[in-house]
């Protein structure tokens, strides 16, 4: 902004990061690797907002280097009341500084001094250079730096509400001008710095003295004239006041490596920022705000954009263009909208190595439509698409069919980096091609296209980027061992999932509405019962009100301490109820359970489409282990563990086809104990393999061998069942103790007995972590890799989280691969045999199918064969099958 006065923004890094840490719940901001990120998130959010709102020309951040400062040397009790810095906070400062480095914002610290002193020095230098200064800090000591050209932005609540402290604002709030604020603080004291003030003297009295006697020096000189108890206390604490004033004076002449002139905003490193945002798992609104604020770098890391020539095809020209494309891969980009099992096409862009074109679908004539339909359905014409499942729905809804999908670049990128949180085309283009998603216009001027500026150009640009990206990713996928997974599993599955979403599952809305009313009544009853116990009504969803009732009024044992008080989360309250059996907790837990069930049903009812079915969306690129997820609504999260929860499944029923064809029942099929069967295969433990081959109850057999008994009690079987499944999920001794309600020592002993019996399991679990630490990744039976760089981290929390993932990923990932293979094989067999039955849902290890009239026996035989033969393991794959009118009735 060369036509404006230079504006320097200075941030107190430690102050703001600490404020963000306590403003945002640490438990809500943790990555899959165990890294806490609440301070990073809050700091980044504040910085982004102030860059957007204040538009500074120069920026810098000051940090404390340590607590060892000249102030501590003078006064050993300086800041002595401050608690030990939480470990969850310490690991976040390097991440904040890494973000600043990516944005090319300088950050400074000086041994023996505080961030305030650096800010005071820079403010003094900037004012001397006729710059405007903004200081973002939560430390009131910086108010002494406020002038007509320097303003403190002080966070009032959390990380978003900033007070603008101008000279007038400071004087209105404290009764003294900014330069005399430290004099007031010297009299009143600073509790956060452990600087005691004069007892009984508050800001109003201190301000009155300073104004009356024209400054603190004169207050000290005339201390004997100040009457009353306040005057007596002043005289008794003059030494404290003088010391306070000496310590709260900010140093304004530190020698710094860089001054205000060297803090001009530079072009940010977009690629490094993307990688850091992925690592921190920041997505959604903050990510968008960052990119909107920082904008495109003028000289990005990218080599260039795309030099793309193309045309919008006139009516009648489509067939000729498509015929000239030949049989080399062509990228296709669909413009439109999709979701809930259907979609709409507005336009289609094509890009080959040598040409590009765009077709407005609304203007298609019959010949153009036929040419497009034939080309899309031609498996001999290889196509490249990015995130193709949604467009597939739109293609099907238009009455066309897509064959010959050679590469889906989103799925390819997922197999290369399964822990990434976004597979946006622009991000991937920059990451793998080192190119911006932009068009290189004439005169080397970069013109960014979006749908509002040039629809056809933007669509062709996306198609060409996907084409080039597919070439770059092919090598990456091969190096990651994912070529077979991509071509044989993930891409074929894409079409099947689109088909399942299009079909949906029928719903008995009357049953769900009755159930919603039932649970609403249960919510009210549970609340009334809870109120009756404590004799008053409170908000049962308010942690603060619950803390008062539970720990102050009912004097219950304290739970885990959090930043907002004693935790009232579900696990803590359940453990508290086990300890106390207090009736209020019984009703509170009941209230939470039935509230969750009512909310689940409300969500389901809102998503029932006009055909009486729910069309969920399946996601292939969310879970790093390879598992599918379900959204809008999440049908993989329908309760199954409780009788009341299972009643929701009664609302999912057999339906009718769109052509009126009759279906007679739903069929559910799943694998029995799939994780443990995979564990037996991978560990090659002879006893574990024998237990499965015996055909008897697996958990009973393993319990017999661990405890050395013939007759296993229900308690013993429950312990071993928890152990069996827990080991497949990287469960620790502490985790097992929590799950079983036993002491950690007993849980550790149980694990030792288990490993003595099943030595192969012990050796496998130890070996898989060691091998992953050497190679950097784990691998499933079918070659799906998960990269775990934190296995060698010096951060204990991150390292231990990565070790748990190393134990878990091969087993969960192999189970995910198996069910995907089973789905595909089942669908192929249905098609080959000409059956009308169809697959509706995949829920973890379970498939839900709709059985056409007269096909139940053939379908069951087919499913058992194809699911049972999905992989060749050392133990048999046991498939369970059930049928019934509803999902609940079909349970087995």
Write out pLDDT tens, residues 535-572.
999 999 888 899 999 999 999 999 887 767 888 988 88
Mean of pLDDT over the chain: 89
Most confident residue range from 271-275, 318-322, 575-579: 318-322
Pairing of strands 311-312, 356-360: parallel
Tell me the C-alpha distance between 717 and 698, whole Å: 10
Mean pLDDT on 772-781:
91
491 has pLDDT over 50: yes
**Residue, of 725 and 106, whose pLDDT is higher:** 106
In this predicted structure, what is the pLDDT of residue 300? Answer: 41
Whole-model pTM?
0.72
Q: What region, left, alpha or beta, does residue 771 occupy, with left being phi > 0 and alpha being psi -120 to 50 degrees? A: alpha
Question: In 271-298, which positions are buried (b, 16+ CB within 10 angstroms) versus exposed (e)?
Answer: bbbbbbbbbbbbeeeebeebbebbeebe
**Residue, of 591 and 240, whose pLDDT is higher:** 591
Q: What's the CATH architecture for 506-614?
A: Up-down Bundle (1.20)
Q: Cα separations (Å) of 861 from 506, 857, 864?
A: 24, 6, 5
**Bond prior to 498 in cis (omega within 30° of 0):** no
**What are 338-379's pLDDT values in tens digits?**
999 999 999 999 999 989 999 999 989 999 999 999 999 999
**What are 240-254's pLDDT values in tens digits?**
888 888 888 898 999
In words, the CATH class of domain 302-504 is: alpha beta
Tell me the C-alpha distance between 730 and 807, whole Å: 5
Phi first, then psi, for residue 697 (nearest 5°) are: -60, 120
Tokens of 508: 């008995």
Q: Give the single-character DSSP code of 85.
A: P
Q: Give the single-character DSSP code of 214.
A: T
In this predicted structure, what is the pLDDT of residue 621? Answer: 95
**What are 654-671's pLDDT values in tens digits?**
998 777 788 999 999 999
CA 251 to the chain's CA centroid: 42
Domain boundaries, the chain: 7-166+251-263, 302-504, 506-614, 674-812
- DSSP secondary structure string for all residues of 226-293: --HHHHHHHHHTHHHHHHHHHHHSPP-----SS-GGGGB-----HHHHHHHHHHHT--THHHHHHHHH
Tell me the C-alpha distance between 588 and 523, whole Å: 10
Question: Which stretches within 440-549 are classed as H helix?
Answer: 455-479, 483-484, 491-503, 509-534, 543-547
In this predicted structure, what is the pLDDT of residue 794? Answer: 60
In this predicted structure, what is the pLDDT of residue 159? Answer: 57
Tell me the C-alpha distance between 235 and 229, whole Å: 10
128 has pLDDT over 50: yes
Q: For the chain, first and last CA: distance in Å?
A: 70
**What are 20-35's pLDDT values in tens digits?**
888 887 877 888 778 8
pLDDT more than 70, % of the chain: 95
**Residue, of 607 and 563, whose pLDDT is higher:** 607
Bridge partners of 364?
none
Pick from 217, 225, 206, 204: nearest CA to 245: 217
In this predicted structure, what is the pLDDT of residue 463? Answer: 96
Tell me the C-alpha distance between 52 and 330, whole Å: 41
Residues in contact with 811: Cβ distance below 8 Å, sequence separation at least 6, in sequence order: 675, 678, 679, 682, 728, 729
In this predicted structure, what is the pLDDT of residue 160? Answer: 65
Pick from 463, 509, 152: nearest CA to 332: 463
Tokens of 212: 């009356």
Tell me the C-alpha distance between 288 and 283, whole Å: 8
Mean pLDDT on 700-707:
87
Tell me the C-alpha distance between 703 and 843, whole Å: 29
Mean pLDDT on 733-755:
83
**What are 414-470's pLDDT values in tens digits?**
999 998 877 999 889 988 998 888 876 543 333 434 443 489 999 999 999 999 999
Question: In 23-46, which positions are buried (b, 16+ CB within 10 angstroms) versus exposed (e)?
Answer: bbebeebbbebbbbbbbbbbbbbb
- DSSP secondary structure string for all residues of 522-570: HHHHHHHHHHHHHTS---TT-HHHHHIIIIIIS-PPP--EETTEE---H
**Residue, of 76 and 766, whose pLDDT is higher:** 766
In this predicted structure, what is the pLDDT of residue 101? Answer: 95
CB-based burial of residue 620 (10 Å sphere; 0-12 exposed, 13-18 middle, 19+ buried)?
buried
Pick from 90, 431, 476: nearest CA to 273: 431
Phi first, then psi, for residue 888 (nearest 5°) are: -65, -45
Q: Are 223 and 238 in contact (CB under 8 A)?
A: yes
Mean pLDDT on 608-635:
94
In this predicted structure, what is the pLDDT of residue 303? Answer: 58
In this predicted structure, what is the pLDDT of residue 304? Answer: 67
Q: Which CATH number fits domain 7-166+251-263: 3.50.50.60, 3.40.50.1010, 3.40.50.150, 3.40.50.11540?
A: 3.40.50.1010
Q: What is the CA radius of gyration of the chain?
A: 33
Q: Which CATH number fits domain 674-812: 3.10.110.10, 3.30.379.10, 3.30.70.20, 1.10.150.20?
A: 1.10.150.20
In this predicted structure, what is the pLDDT of residue 442? Answer: 40
């Amino acid at each position: 902004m060369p036509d404006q006065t230079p504006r320097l923004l200075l941030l107190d890094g430690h102050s703001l990061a600490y404020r963000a840490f306590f403003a945002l719940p640490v438990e809500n901001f943790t990555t899959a690797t165990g890294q806490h990120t609440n301070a990073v998130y809050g700091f980044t959010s504040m910085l982004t907002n102030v860059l957007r709102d204040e538009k500074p020309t120069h920026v810098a951040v000051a940090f404390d280097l340590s607590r060892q400062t000249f102030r501590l040397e003078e006064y050993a009790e300086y800041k002595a009341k401050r608690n030990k810095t939480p470990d969850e906070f310490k690991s976040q400062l390097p991440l904040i500084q890494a973000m600043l480095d990516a944005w090319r914002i300088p950050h400074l610290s000086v041994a023996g001094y505080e961030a305030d002193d650096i800010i005071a020095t820079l403010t003094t230098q900037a004012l001397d250079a006729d710059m405007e200064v903004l200081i973002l800090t939560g430390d009131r000591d910086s108010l002494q730096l406020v002038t007509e050209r320097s303003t403190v932005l002080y966070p009032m609540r959390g990380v978003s509400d900033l007070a603008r402290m101008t000279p007038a604002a400071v004087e209105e709030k404290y009764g003294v001008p900014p330069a005399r604020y430290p004099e007031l603080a010297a009299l009143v004291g600073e509790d956060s710095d452990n600087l005691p003030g004069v007892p009984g003297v508050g800001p109003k009295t201190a301000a009155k003295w300073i104004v009356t006697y024209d400054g603190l020096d004169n207050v000290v000189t005339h201390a004997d004239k100040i009457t009353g108890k306040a005057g007596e206390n002043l005289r008794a604490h003059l030494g404290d006041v003088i010391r306070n004033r000496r310590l709260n004076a900010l140093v304004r002449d530190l020698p710094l490596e860089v001054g205000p002139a060297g803090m001009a905003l530079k072009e940010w490193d977009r690629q490094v920022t993307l990688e850091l945002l992925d690592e921190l798992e920041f997505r959604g609104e903050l990510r968008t705000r960052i990119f909107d604020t920082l904008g495109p770098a003028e000289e990005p890391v990218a080599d260039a954009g795309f030099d793309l020539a193309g045309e919008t095809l006139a009516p009648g020209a489509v067939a000729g263009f498509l015929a000239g494309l030949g049989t080399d891969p062509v990228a296709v980009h669909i413009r439109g909208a999709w979701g809930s099992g259907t979609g709409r096409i507005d336009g289609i862009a094509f890009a080959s190595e040598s040409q590009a074109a765009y077709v407005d679908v609304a203007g298609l004539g019959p010949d153009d439509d036929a040419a497009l339909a034939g080309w899309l359905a031609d498996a001999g014409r290889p196509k490249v698409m990015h995130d193709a499942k949604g467009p597939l729905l739109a293609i099907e809804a238009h009455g066309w069919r897509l064959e010959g999908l050679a590469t889906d670049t989103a799925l390819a990128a997922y197999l290369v980096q399964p822990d990434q949180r976004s597979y946006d085309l622009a991000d991937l283009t920059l990451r793998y091609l080192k190119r911006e998603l932009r068009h290189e216009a004439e005169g080397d001027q970069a013109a960014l296209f979006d749908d509002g500026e040039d629809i056809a150009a933007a669509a062709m640009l996306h198609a060409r980027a996907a084409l080039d990206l597919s070439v770059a990713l092919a090598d990456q996928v091969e190096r990651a061992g994912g070529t077979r997974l991509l071509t044989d599993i993930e891409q074929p599955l894409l079409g099947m999932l689109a088909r399942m979403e299009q079909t949906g599952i029928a719903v008995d809305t009357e049953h769900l509405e009755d159930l919603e009313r039932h649970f609403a009544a249960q919510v009210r009853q549970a609340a009334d019962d809870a109120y009756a116990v404590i004799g008053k009504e409170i908000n049962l969803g308010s942690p603060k009100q619950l803390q008062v009732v539970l720990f102050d009024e009912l004097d219950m044992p304290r739970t885990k301490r959090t930043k907002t008080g004693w935790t009232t989360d579900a696990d803590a309250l359940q453990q508290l109820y086990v300890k106390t059996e207090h009736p209020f907790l019984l009703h509170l837990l009941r209230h939470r359970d039935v509230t969750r069930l009512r909310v689940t049903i409300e969500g389901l009812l809102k998503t029932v489409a006009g055909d009486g079915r729910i069309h969920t969306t399946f996601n292939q690129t969310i879970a790093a282990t390879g598992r599918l997820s379900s959204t809008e609504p999440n049908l993989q999260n329908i309760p199954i563990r409780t009788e009341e929860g299972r009643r929701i499944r009664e609302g999912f029923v057999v339906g009718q086809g769109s052509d009126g064809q009759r279906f007679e029942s739903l069929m559910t099929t799943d694998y029995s104990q799939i994780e443990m069967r995979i564990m037996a295969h991978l560990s090659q433990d002879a006893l574990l393999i024998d237990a499965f081959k015996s055909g008897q109850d697996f958990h009973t057999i393993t319990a017999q061998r661990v405890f050395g008994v013939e007759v296993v009690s229900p308690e013993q079987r429950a312990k071993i069942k928890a152990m069996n499944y827990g080991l497949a999920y990287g469960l620790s001794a502490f985790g097992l103790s929590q799950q079983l309600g036993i002491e950690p020592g007993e849980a550790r002993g149980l694990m030792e007995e288990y490993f003595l019996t099943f030595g192969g399991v012990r050796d496998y679990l130890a070996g898989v972590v060691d091998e992953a630490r050497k190679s950097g990744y784990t691998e499933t039976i079918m070659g799906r890799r998960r990269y775990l760089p934190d296995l060698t981290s010096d951060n204990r929390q991150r390292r231990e989280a990565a070790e748990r993932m190393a134990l878990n990923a091969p087993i969960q990932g192999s189970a995910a691969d198996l069910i995907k293979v089973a789905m595909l094989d089942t669908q192929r067999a249905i098609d080959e045999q000409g059956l009308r039955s169809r697959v509706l849902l995949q829920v973890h290890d379970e498939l839900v199918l709709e059985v056409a009239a007269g096909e139940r026996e053939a379908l069951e035989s087919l499913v058992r064969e194809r699911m049972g033969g999905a992989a060749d393991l050392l133990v048999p794959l046991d498939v369970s099958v059930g049928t019934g009118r509803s999902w609940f009735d079909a349970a087995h």
